[in-house]
Chains A and B, each alone.
Chain A
């Protein structure tokens, strides 16, 4: 029985954090981290449970194929995957398996366990996602800087237009605009597949551009705000060059709202996108996300929800650590 152990461990973690806070004071970082870890586990369990019952409440099941199965075969399948047991027993058993880091077998892709599917497609999604995060920063940072430095002038208007387009163009339209010239016109990039590094360029660009546009808008607003502040004027009065004033002082304040956005954004990018994967023929996680839910592949859909929850929680955690490092007035809570 692993689930009870997990719950006891979770309660212990909360208790330890509480004890540590009382002994070492409110600003103790170990207590803050322990509490954070406990909340990540709690959140994951809560999201898992909510998704579990929502999926079971949805009409249909994993064995509703195009062809109806013979009743005795379906009964045997249901027995094999324990779907004939009461729902709350199924839930407890799956939590128990989750506590052993076992996500169970896929009910639709029956030769595979959910772990095997993850091992196959998660690295691909992470690869494309990392490249997309790079695009996001490569596009968002200079665009935001340019717009803020030339606020109200034509470079600002141009940068804001690019940002608005990047945010509002659907991915398939963007891909439709990029593929003809780059793939068929100039022949620089392959149309699909990840066999060569060049194949990574277009899908990651399509995935990262909307986020880059959002980042640019956040940075622009943040920079316009900080460039106006007294301490930036002090830095200029000290005789520092404009590049140093911006990189060392103004950008610091502008990054705070941007980083709060980056946590969820990075989790969203890393788990992939159905549209981008379909457009470029990439065997990533995004299509499983949609297929798992549509075909009522309960373990696969729940496994992916769990991974997504963990990714969001952990990237938000890292971003909070970054915020604390960036602004000494912020404390880990």
Chain B
């Protein structure tokens, strides 16, 4: 997959100060996304996925948040106030919880119509466009849904509405922040299918944030694995998910419940739990890593930026891997 990069992050760090305590949520994160590509940002809760998304759109609270580094969207800087010019116009986002993401006070149609107004289309002719936008996300009676209030819709319907709202302005990049986590499994599948079709039809670039490796495999061209706000591994989804090279990715994949194990087999788990206070100058995963060596706790592994597949691990980089 070649082509120009639509989004390039270099050394992005985000920290929050509460009182005299500082939390490092994202730590020198770098990656690039090609135009038209779907990149999955994978990691457990607290790995900095959502914080990265909010920072890209300039939606983090200003007070107490420190952001450094650079994130360029189509050449223009997004961090430090630049996002306000593009959000809702060229970059859209769908949030995790479709119940709280929609305003309870306004009809669904009015909330979508607003996105058209921002896109430069006058509100007067927005109505048929609203219906069309709702029909495009497979809602069965779009005219009825447009008149409804969010509390009158089901979770799946609401998430479709959120998708319609995000795609209304024909964004070049859409960020999906765990779009199916709050939904039940059958609805999850149909929403993922909808996203895949819309992605191809509209040729949008998609930043897909998830902790669901299966969803990442089905949707993404490339996968970026995060741990403790740091990058672990980046590569095409086939490579990363079938032949993981970072011990954390390997452990994550091994922890997936498998249907071919006989029932009663204990689920595999990564020993220990993520502890932000144990983050040191070394590898973030070292305290829980089965193959960690003393140097893993001392110096932070960083893959050479030129590599086609990036694995931020001392052991891997020794072996002279790709």
Residues of A within 8 A of B (CB): 152, 229-231, 233-240, 248-249, 252-253, 326-329
Contacts and interface: CB of A to CB of B under 8 A. Distances in A.
Interface string B153-165: 0000000001001
A238 B115 contact: yes
Nearest to B151: A329
Given A234-B103, A239-B87, 6 more contacts: A231-B104, A234-B101, A234-B102, A238-B118, A239-B115, A329-B104
B88 interface: yes
B103 A235 contact: yes
Contacts of B101: 230-231, 233-234
24 contacts: A231-B102, A231-B103, A231-B104, A233-B101, A235-B103, A236-B59, A236-B87, A237-B57, A237-B59, A237-B87, A237-B88, A238-B87, A238-B88, A238-B118, A239-B87, A239-B118, A239-B169, A240-B88, A240-B114, A240-B118, A252-B105, A326-B105, A328-B104, A328-B149
A238 B93 CA distance: 8
A329 B100 contact: no
Interface size class, chain B: 20 to 34
Give the dominant DSSP class at A's interface: helix
B89 interface: yes
Contacts of A238: 87-88, 92, 114-115, 118, 165
B20 to A, nearest CB: 15
A248 B111 CA distance: 11
A211 B59 CA distance: 35
Contacts of A328: 104-105, 149, 151
A327 B105 contact: yes
For B59, B84, B105, the residue with the greatest tally of chain A CB atoms inside 10 Å of its CB is B105
A325 to B, nearest CB: 10
Contacts, number: 63
Contact of A152 (B63, B87, B102): B63
A322 B309 CA distance: 59
B95 interface: yes
B15 to A, nearest CB: 19
A239 B89 contact: yes
B59 A233 contact: yes
Interface string B53-76: 000010100010000000000000
B167 to A, nearest CB: 12
